[in-house]
């Protein structure tokens, strides 16, 4: 309340009601306050205990963690090979892929195909159809490369065996040269012989330009992109032009100079092509014989090997042949194989082209018939098999004398 002078005064009734508390009531209130204060401090101690359990460490916990660390260390030592494999797999996906553009001059540029390294190249090599001699030769070369690394680590000052990675792949189209080259680069990378393991695929058109000096610029760029991996030159014999001043011969000369440089070790050059013209290339350039000591010959696939390739490819799409369809496919393949032109026979490429034709026929039939059973969408029937045209040998016309 406020008096006339504006000074607050107590309400007598309220003051009287407060002062009217008995001693027993006052003791009761004091006891309640004491209990409240004790409870408050007890709660604070409990909170501190909870915090210590969250962030604190007792001796038993430290012993357990030390024991776990020791076990983890032992496990790591036991699984070094697995970790190396995993690290190699990570390295495959973190390796930066170079640009695929070759600028021959200010107004002309061409593209090269760049194949990234494989995560599991040995598994890819083992599952290749045929190519047994090639698998053996690659294993031998890799064993010597790994042995050199072991000797270098154990005896740094000892003389090492010279291992040339440069190779020649003889074979017709479709025999697996590009596939093996990709595996080859990845295996050399895992063996520590190459720093990256990718493959740069080039041909005559990659190097030959329209202006003076294009070849030198192109060779320099291609080698730089292939550094740490494999430079694969397809149909390399085309660089050996018939004329003395053919620019392709200049490309071969520049490659020879690079291969002779001992500092250019972080690259493997693979020349590919038909055996006969490749041998002529080697004969006209004696230096190539010594620079390319590794020779791999890719033979034509047999009928059984082509059938196995077919099985694997249709399995990738979960297709299956009916018995009648499989027999018809075998007959089509046999007929094509018997009239093939050895110089233009596609081998595995023929299988790829024939299957593509079958897939198209199968898709068209399914769209038109709309089978009720969904499994029929994956079933190849005789109606789906239409033979593709096979190039035949050219008959020569001559005159008897």
CA distances from 162 to 69, 88, 104, 156, 260 (A): 43, 25, 35, 15, 13
- With a CB cutoff of 8 Å and minimum separation 6, the contacts of 147 are 161
Q: What is d(CA 146, CA 162) in angstroms, rounded to the nearest whole number?
A: 12
pLDDT value, residue 55: 34
pLDDT, tens only, 138-148: 999 999 989 98
Q: Kindly report the CA angle at 290 between 285 and 294, in degrees rounded to 5?
A: 110
pLDDT value, residue 22: 56
């309400």: which residue's tokens? 11
Q: Which of 335, 324, 390, 334 is nearest to 357 (CA)?
A: 390
Q: What is d(CA 176, CA 48) in angstroms, rounded to the nearest whole number?
A: 71
Helix (H), strand (E) at residue 370: none
pLDDT value, residue 10: 39
Q: What is d(CA 106, CA 91) in angstroms, rounded to the nearest whole number?
A: 35
Q: Do domains 86-298 and 303-384 have the same CATH topology?
A: no
pLDDT, tens only, 207-220: 998 888 899 999 99
Q: Kindly report the CA angle at 99 between 96 and 246, in degrees rounded to 5?
A: 135
CB 273 within 8 A of CB 170: yes
Q: Which of 298, 281, 67 is nearest to 171 (CA)?
A: 298
The H-assigned helical ranges of 285-347 are 286-291, 303-316, 323-338
Which strands form 167-171's sheet, in the order they lie side by side?
A: 113-115, 199-202, 230-233, 268-273, 167-171, 294-298
């699984």: which residue's tokens? 79
The single-letter DSSP state of residue 2 is B
Domain 303-384 CATH class label? mainly alpha
Strand partners, 109: 103
pLDDT value, residue 18: 41
pLDDT tens sequence for the chain (401 residues): 444 444 444 344 443 444 444 556 556 655 655 565 455 444 444 444 344 334 343 444 444 444 445 444 444 444 444 444 555 555 554 556 788 889 888 889 999 999 999 999 999 999 999 888 899 999 999 999 899 889 989 998 888 888 889 999 999 999 999 999 999 999 999 999 999 999 999 999 999 988 888 999 999 999 999 999 999 999 999 999 888 889 999 999 999 888 888 667 899 999 999 999 999 999 888 888 888 999 999 999 999 999 999 999 999 999 999 999 999 999 999 999 999 998 889 999 999 999 999 999 999 999 999 999 999 999 999 999 999 888 776 555 444 44
CATH architecture of the domain 86-298 equals 3-Layer(aba) Sandwich (3.40)
pLDDT value, residue 49: 39
Q: Is residue 55 classed as helix, strand or coil in its secondary structure?
A: helix
pLDDT value, residue 212: 86
The number of beta carbons lying within 10 Å of the beta carbon of residue 188 is: 24
CB 254 within 8 A of CB 217: no
**Prediction pTM value:** 0.72
Six-digit token string for 62:
């430290």
pLDDT value, residue 17: 40
Q: Which of 389, 384, 336 is nearest to 360 (CA)?
A: 384
- DSSP notation for 86-113: HHHHHHHHHSPPPP-EEEEETTEEEE-E
pLDDT value, residue 48: 42
Domains of the chain: which residue ranges? 86-298, 303-384
- DSSP notation for 250-284: HHHHHHHHHHH-TT--S-EEEEEE-HHHHHHHHHH
Q: What is d(CA 157, CA 137) in angstroms, rounded to the nearest whole number?
A: 29
Residues in the chain, how many?
401
CB 268 within 8 A of CB 165: yes
Q: What is d(CA 347, CA 329) in angstroms, rounded to the nearest whole number?
A: 15
Over the chain, what is the mean pLDDT? 81
């Amino acid at each position: 309340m406020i008096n006339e002078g504006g000074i607050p005064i107590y309400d007598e009734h309220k003051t009287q009601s407060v002062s009217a508390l008995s001693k027993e009531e006052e003791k009761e209130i004091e006891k309640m306050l004491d209990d409240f204060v004790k409870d408050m401090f007890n709660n604070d101690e409990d909170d501190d205990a909870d915090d210590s359990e969250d962030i604190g460490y007792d001796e038993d916990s430290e012993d357990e963690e030390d024991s776990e660390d020791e076990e983890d260390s032992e496990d790591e030592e036991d699984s070094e090979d697995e970790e190396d494999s995993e690290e190699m797999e990570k390295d495959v996906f973190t390796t930066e892929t170079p640009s695929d553009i070759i600028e021959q001059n200010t107004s002309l540029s061409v593209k090269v195909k760049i194949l990234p390294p494989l995560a599991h190249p040995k598994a890819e090599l083992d599952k290749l159809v045929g190519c047994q001699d090639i698998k053996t030769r690659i294993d031998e070369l890799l064993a010597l490369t790994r042995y050199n690394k072991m000797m270098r680590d154990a005896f740094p000052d000892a003389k090492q065996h010279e291992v040339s990675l440069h190779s020649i792949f003889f074979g017709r189209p479709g025999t697996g040269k590009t596939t093996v080259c990709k595996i080859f680069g990845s295996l050399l990378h895992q063996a520590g012989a190459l720093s990256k393991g990718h493959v740069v695929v080039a041909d005559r058109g990659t190097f030959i330009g329209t202006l003076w000096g294009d070849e030198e610029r192109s060779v320099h760029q291609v080698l730089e992109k292939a550094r740490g991996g494999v430079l694969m030159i397809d149909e390399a014999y085309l660089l050996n032009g018939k004329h003395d001043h053919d620019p392709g011969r200049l490309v071969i000369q520049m490659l020879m100079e690079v291969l002779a440089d001992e500092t250019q070790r972080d690259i493997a050059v693979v020349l590919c092509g038909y055996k006969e013209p490749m041998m002529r290339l080697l004969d006209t350039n004696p230096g190539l014989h010594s620079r390319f000591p590794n020779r791999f010959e890719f033979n034509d696939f047999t009928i059984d090997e082509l059938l196995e390739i077919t099985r694997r490819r249709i399995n990738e799409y979960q297709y299956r042949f009916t018995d009648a369809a499989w027999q018809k496919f075998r007959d089509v393949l046999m007929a094509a194989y018997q009239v093939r032109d050895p110089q233009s026979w596609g081998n595995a490429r023929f299988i790829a082209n024939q299957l593509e034709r079958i897939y198209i026929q199968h898709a068209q039939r399914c769209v038109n018939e709309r089978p009720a059973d969904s499994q029929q969408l994956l079933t190849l029937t005789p109606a789906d098999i239409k033979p593709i045209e096979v190039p035949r040998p050219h008959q020569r016309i001559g005159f008897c004398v």
